[in-house]
Structure 1
Amino acid sequence: MHGVVPAAGRGSRLRPRTDDKPKGLVEVGGTPLLTHVFKTLSPYVEEYVVIIGYLGDQIRAHYGHSFDGKPITYVEQPDRRGLAHAVSMAEPVVSGLFLQLNGDNVLRGNVGDVADTHRRTGADATLLVECVDRERAKRGGVLELDDGDVTGLVEKPDDPLSRLATTGCFAFSQRLFEACRAIEPSERGEYELPAAIEWVLDDRGRVETVRFDGWRVNVNTESDIERAEARL
């Protein structure tokens, strides 16, 4: 199974740290963000695919061709046009099922359950999800449910229909790439991953969820770094 890691963003909310380095190399607890991500994925993947953009050559130089004895393939996303667009860049080098963890997540938890559930059920998408408060639900991807079944996924809703949110960890079949090609840009002009997952649902694909057991910090600001270091 490939481990796909989107890491192309500029990390503007972490300036000035990211003025001269990519977000993935910003240190949390003395360790670059991407190293945290690689270590979390390592038990479950055979190869990493890292999507780079802003100052991506620094990431290549830092990690080279492998991490923990497993090869790294780098894919360029020259224009940052949303997370679904970033993931679609990996299509030429990813075969079969893949596990995705966003490159700004410091996460300790049951990622293995996502990979196992995905293989066992034959799902097109398996989402690691957590229950959050209403304000947090407005800031990310939130599931719409009907008798426990996922019927939709909404990005940054004004009025969340549930408080079950995605965590930045997913497993996908190749069908996700088809969805990324089919969707239209959002009002923000970006190709959103929730829209791709909704396309899979609308096309009668199978979407499973795994409840998150652990902790995570999505690192976007200085205060996020402090929170992650406190947890570590």
Structure 2
Amino acid sequence: MRPLTYHVPKPMARAGGRNLLEHTISRLPSEVNELIIVVGYLAEQIMNHFGDEYEGRKVIYVRQKKLLGTAHALSLCEKHIRGRFLVLMGDDMYGDDDIANCLKHEWAWMVKKVRGKFTGGRIVYDADGHVTAVEEGTHDVAEGCVGTNLFVLGKEYFNYPMVPIKDGEEFGLPQTVALAAKDFTIKIIEANGWEQISDMNDLKHLHAQFTKGQ
């Protein structure tokens, strides 16, 4: 999202009068009573904006000094987590109903249905809608599932070793969650309101959605 992100961390990019992280936090149900935000690039902008408490929730910051993947980022939060928890990306948009549906389950993984050819991790699940595996590669399917990086997990997740990806340069959260799926029932929840913000066109589209009719 350059040149914007030369001066602003991506979660602080604005659309519809608020930054992406504000939009995300506003969609969390009241049962989420504490926030742990992993910061890195231009961390002070996020920390100064949200402070130690935001919208009635305590805020804890964890610094990821090296970009070693999403599983590594989550591992840095372990000491602050006491039980079941929600994981999501601060620079994507998730529907509040989707989040609430995931939280109805002890373990859950929000997915997006896709068709045709795609490259990446395909989430495999059984007839009851429970995750069985993640298959990496190029897929051409009549219907498949990809992850949205929104999870509801138990603290037992941290008992599993982080799975290396990208020739060992990073550690993948979806791949590590797939290990836990061998021992825990992880329900897939289909997303209705997920939007991945990857570039300026995505951000402009999101802004147009928020300002439509104003």
Distance in 2, matches of 1:89 and 1:134, equals 36
Distance in 2, matches of 1:68 and 1:23, equals 21
- Tell me the equivalent position of 1:198: 178
CA-CA distance at 1:149 after TM superposition: 3.7
CA-CA distance at 1:152 after TM superposition: 0.4
Distance in 1, matches of 2:162 and 2:45, equals 32
CA-CA distance at 1:154 after TM superposition: 3.4
What is the one-letter code of the residue matched to 1:201? A
- Tell me the equivalent position of 2:119: 138
Contact 2:62 2:76 in 1 (8 A): yes
Q: Do structure 1's residue 115 and structure 2's residue 94 form an aligned pair?
A: no
Distance in 1, matches of 2:57 and 2:207, equals 27
CA-CA distance at 1:42 after TM superposition: 4.3
Contact 2:149 2:174 in 1 (8 A): no
- Tell me the equivalent position of 1:24: 11
Q: Do structure 1's residue 55 and structure 2's residue 36 form an aligned pair?
A: no
Distance in 2, matches of 1:113 and 1:177, equals 23
Deviates more, 1:40-49 or 1:52-61: 40-49
Distance in 1, matches of 2:185 and 2:100, equals 19
Find 1:185's aligned residue among 150, 157, 164.
Answer: 164
Q: TM-score, normalised by structure 2?
A: 0.88
**Structure 1 stretches of 4+ moved >4 Å:** none
Structure 2 unaligned spans of 5+: none
Distance in 1, matches of 2:197 and 2:82, equals 29
CA-CA distance at 1:225 after TM superposition: 0.6
Find 1:224's aligned residue among 199, 202, 212.
Answer: 202
Q: Do structure 1's residue 174 and structure 2's residue 155 form an aligned pair?
A: yes
- Tell me the equivalent position of 1:75: 62
Find 2:146's aligned residue among 153, 165, 168.
Answer: 165
Change (3 A) 1:199 1:67: same
Structure 1 unaligned spans of 5+: 1-13, 119-124
Q: Could you give the per-residue CA deviations for residues 9-47 of structure 1, whole angstroms, max 9, x where no partner exists?
A: xxxxx1111111211111122211110111112433001
Higher-helix-fraction structure:
1
- Tell me the equivalent position of 1:122: none
SS at match of 2:27: helix
Deviates more, 1:70-79 or 1:167-176: 167-176
CA-CA distance at 1:210 after TM superposition: 1.8
SS at match of 2:187: strand
Higher-strand-fraction structure:
2
Contact 2:115 2:140 in 1 (8 A): no
Q: Could you give the per-residue CA deviations for residues 108-158 of structure 1, whole angstroms, max 9, x where no partner exists?
A: 23211111122xxxxxx31112212334x425x421134344210235x31
Distance in 1, matches of 2:51 and 2:198, equals 25
- Report 1:84-123 matches (<5 A): 84-108=71-95, 109-118=97-106
